Structure 1
Amino acid sequence: MNDYDIQEAFKRIEDELIASMMRNMQRHRAEETKEGIEWGMWQAEQLRALEEYRKRNAKKYNGQFEEINSSIPAIISESRKRGYLDQEAHILETIGQTSGGSGDIDGAFFKINDRKMNALIDATVSDMDSAETAMLRRANDQYRKTIFNAQVYANSGVGTYEKAVDMATKDFLAAGIQCIQYKNGSMHRIEEYAGMAIRTASKRAYLTGEGEKRKEWGCHLVIMNKRGNPCPKCLPFVGKILIDDVWSGGSSKDGSYPLMSSAMAAGLYHPNCKDGHTTYFPGISTPPDDKFSKKEIKQVEEDYKDDQKQQYAKRQEEKFGRLANYSLDPMNKKVYASRQEQWKHVRMRTGNKSSQEYAESKRPLANFMALPQNRVVDVLRKESASWIESLSGKEKHAIEKYTYNSGDRKPDRFFERLNGMLRGDRPEDTALAEYARTLSVAIQKNELRHDVICYRNVDLDLYSDLTDGDIFKEKQFISTSVVKKAALDKKYKVTIYAPKGSKCAYIEKLSKYPKQRELLLDKDSLFKVISKKENEIELQVII
């Protein structure tokens, strides 16, 4: 199991609890006589059904809860192990395998971490157990409340039995089984809480594993990654160097940088936080870029608002979905289904796509762990060295010629002629076809070892006839930059997510223009449109 599986399991259980209750309401329908509905007999029958409902649920779901809870320690422990191994690979990759650790291997430190991890696991399982108990209790309470409220609504003149029950269950169905109260007073369903709790605990465990490896090497400085959409709480710390006194035992002696503990007290690494950090090696790592332009800050704010709107739309769709599925009155079901359909096709960043379709379009990027901007050039430059050595003289020449061909003039440069032929805009040319084959063979000798975000700006809207979710093939080679500011300044901004394993090559050392930090994607690559918003396009390489 992972955090997504656990969240889905609780969603299924919640749906089953609601469906079972509403089946009882439909099955044990109140008898209607000339004098009206016999509510007294109906209530007595429903109270007996409630007792059976309570016993059956306790027996049925306690076993499922135990299975879910038993998977939590393994999820958290695996995250800690993964963090430790990933950090080891990062350190060896950055400073070399011959250096050896220089940290103080303090057994007491690791024992403390073990105790912290055990406490984290115990607390997560205990909280989940309490939430599960609250879920069943809340379902029972809502059932009992419905039994008595149905008569109240019937006496107010709502009409039929079905309408009375729908009125009594409307608030409950709209909200779902909300049984968890956060510190700010807001109520949440267990599905939402479980996803947040497991993701947060797993992230803390991952960071613990990373910190343990840094401790072994005596590395206590970290830099907060500058990603495209940091949350407002974490924005003040993005791109800054911090002393990790939380996970790797750093202290104020490590420099004049802020402490991680102080940053966390100010909001960094809040529940559901998506930001992260990497180890900072003075004199080796790329200097921090903690400056945000006004345009970038505005974009962060807009992206955050869009995300909040999308989450709201998703909740509204789920709300009317429950009302449509479980209401008894046919007219109510029809009205709620119509409202659900309206929320399915909200027109925000999703275009005409339903919120579920939008979520599915983003799902391929859910596990996309891109190299941060402050590391991507160093890593790709180092890894490209062995690939370049494997190339023949002919292949190196083809790449060099692609980036610059002496005597060429716009718009008839070598790479423009070559790609024009591949697209079918120019007649077939034997010499160009041979260069295309040579280039492609050279690129296919390399395989991307990391997830990488790259950038490609163009003057024309090349994707005007495509919509979100479309998959298409680029017949030509695609030049991109792995550094956003190195991309050419043109009207349409294309962001490309290239996952590990993509057929492409980092050609800085062979390029006439090394400062472009070029990642060259092979011809005939497949792409999926993730989103289009005015002059900004997001694509994903399909491998």
Structure 2
Amino acid sequence: MPVSPALSEDLAAAVADLYEAAEGTLIETIRKALDQGWDSPLWAQLRLAQLGQLQTAINEIIAALQADATGAIHQAVAEAYDRGSQAAVAELGALAPGVHSIPAGAQAIDRLARAVVDDTGPVYLRMLRTSTDVYRNVIARASAPSVLGAQTRRQAAQSALNQFADRGVTGFVDNAGRSWELRSYVEMAMRSATARAAVEAHSDRLGEAGVELVIVSQAPEECPLCRPWERKILARTGAPGKREVQVEHATEDGEMVTVTVAGSLPEARAAGLLHPNCRHTVSAYMPGVSRVPKAQPSRGTYEDTQKQRYLERQTRKWKRRAAAAVDDQERKKANANVRAYQKRIRELVADTGLPRKSHREQLATAR
């Protein structure tokens, strides 16, 4: 069976869920620490006196997350590598019946998992700093001289909490200089690692069977990075660049076949093919047997898919707002916005034919 980043994206999402759930727990912990004694003139002093207890609670959340996540990262990468290996074995089938033993790939798994663990190392310190800074900021804004009475104090606190719920823990910058929120950053790192593990394992198994050419599928709503490689034949390894090669027929001994190779798989991947969220697959190409698939119309456009993802992010944003609400009115307002964005998603999928992915509208909850 072909291999693609989609083969392991559930593994990446499961790890990212751990971080999103922890972030939700942080919001809830801060809200509960603030949501008491609004009528007291000593509200700010009492809340600041609890800062040490809050930091202890936050550290416990972060320690539990770190312990769970480290194991989950290694497990996800190992599972992705195994899936890639199994995909190659299933794809080769009767053409290479000897390819049934799947090496563990321990070095590749450890290398890829360690890279993610190292990349996410600063996350934990950032979570602690952001949470305590938000707590202090809420208290400062709610106790400013312009704020009079319990109600306006509550409103000022809610405004500050809303800002935190909207952006979450941020400040993570990738190698390209792009800034990410917590869940997106972790999921991006995990999707990259698990996709690489699956593709490397698949490619290694094909190489062991003597298969040196692969073909890229067509994927719906393809992005500009992947479009140049769609339905193209690639060399599994080797030099970049388009060329014609003479190779032996996959099933006829001595018969040669001319194949146009668009480049190498490493070249295509470096140019963006099989990026996180990519829907393309790569499969073994058997000269003289495999056929280049015909172009198929897409259900929508790449821009449609990006609009859908924006609406999904907004849905999750307002669900976080509901979790941060300190009164029923604010909670009702947030839930109304959730329903409004979900309505827009239903309209978009009805107009374009894109599949609705309800799981991307949900917030992960603490285990």
Give the TM-score of the pair, scaled to structure 1. 0.54
The aligned amino acid for 2:317 is K
After the TM superposition, list the runs of 4 or more consecutive aligned residues in structure 1 that deviate by more than 6 angstroms: 156-159
Shift in CA distance, 181/153, structure 1 to aligned 2, threshold 3 Å: farther
Shift in CA distance, 268/156, structure 1 to aligned 2, threshold 3 Å: farther
Structure 2: 5+ residue runs without aligned partners?
1-9, 246-259, 362-367
- C-alpha offsets along residues 247-302 of structure 1, whole Å, 9 cap, x if unaligned? xxx4469946212222222221223323220011111211x24x758xx4xx47x3
* Aligned equivalent of 2:309: 311
Structure 1 segment 47-86 matched on structure 2, within 5 A: 47-86=48-87
CA contact 1:323–1:336 (8 Å) conserved in 2: yes
CA contact 1:221–1:279 (8 Å) conserved in 2: yes
The aligned amino acid for 2:182 is I
The aligned amino acid for 2:342 is K
How big is the shift at 1:224? Answer: 0.5
How big is the shift at 1:156? Answer: 9.5
CA contact 2:76–2:194 (8 Å) conserved in 1: yes
Q: Distance in 2 between matches of 1:207 and 1:90?
A: 14
* Aligned equivalent of 2:27: 18
| Secondary structure of the corresponding residue to residue 75 of structure 1 | helix
| Equivalent residues, number | 329
Which one of 11, 16, 22 corresponds to residue 7 of structure 1? Answer: 16
Shift in CA distance, 251/185, structure 1 to aligned 2, threshold 3 Å: closer
- C-alpha offsets along residues 175-198 of structure 1, whole Å, 9 cap, x if unaligned? 223342345655433223333322
Q: Distance in 1 between matches of 2:156 and 2:360?
A: 41
Shift in CA distance, 156/173, structure 1 to aligned 2, threshold 3 Å: farther
How big is the shift at 1:243? Answer: 1.2
CA contact 1:131–1:179 (8 Å) conserved in 2: no
Across the aligned residues of Structure 1 and Structure 2, the Cα RMSD in angstroms comes to 3.4
* Aligned equivalent of 2:132: 140
- C-alpha offsets along residues 484-518 of structure 1, whole Å, 9 cap, x if unaligned? xxxxxxxxxxxxxxxxxxxxxxxxxxxxxxxxxxx
* Aligned equivalent of 2:331: 333
The aligned amino acid for 1:14 is E
Whose helix fraction is larger, Structure 1's or Structure 2's?
2
Structure 1: 5+ residue runs without aligned partners?
32-37, 102-109, 364-543
The aligned amino acid for 1:72 is I
CA contact 2:73–2:117 (8 Å) conserved in 1: yes
Which one of 239, 246, 269 corresponds to residue 264 of structure 1? Answer: 269
How big is the shift at 1:223? Answer: 0.6
Q: Distance in 2 between matches of 1:234 and 1:82?
A: 23
| Secondary structure of the corresponding residue to residue 278 of structure 1 | strand
* Aligned equivalent of 1:221: 213
Q: Distance in 2 between matches of 1:308 and 1:71?
A: 29
Q: Distance in 2 between matches of 1:183 and 1:348?
A: 36
Shift in CA distance, 45/254, structure 1 to aligned 2, threshold 3 Å: farther
How big is the shift at 1:122? Answer: 0.6
Q: Distance in 2 between matches of 1:184 and 1:150?
A: 38
Shift in CA distance, 191/204, structure 1 to aligned 2, threshold 3 Å: same
Q: Distance in 1 between matches of 2:147 and 2:129?
A: 28
Q: Distance in 1 between matches of 2:69 and 2:160?
A: 32
* Aligned equivalent of 1:119: 111
CA contact 1:153–1:168 (8 Å) conserved in 2: no
The aligned amino acid for 2:51 is L
- C-alpha offsets along residues 145-166 of structure 1, whole Å, 9 cap, x if unaligned? 2222223484499962211212
Q: Distance in 1 between matches of 2:119 and 2:23?
A: 18
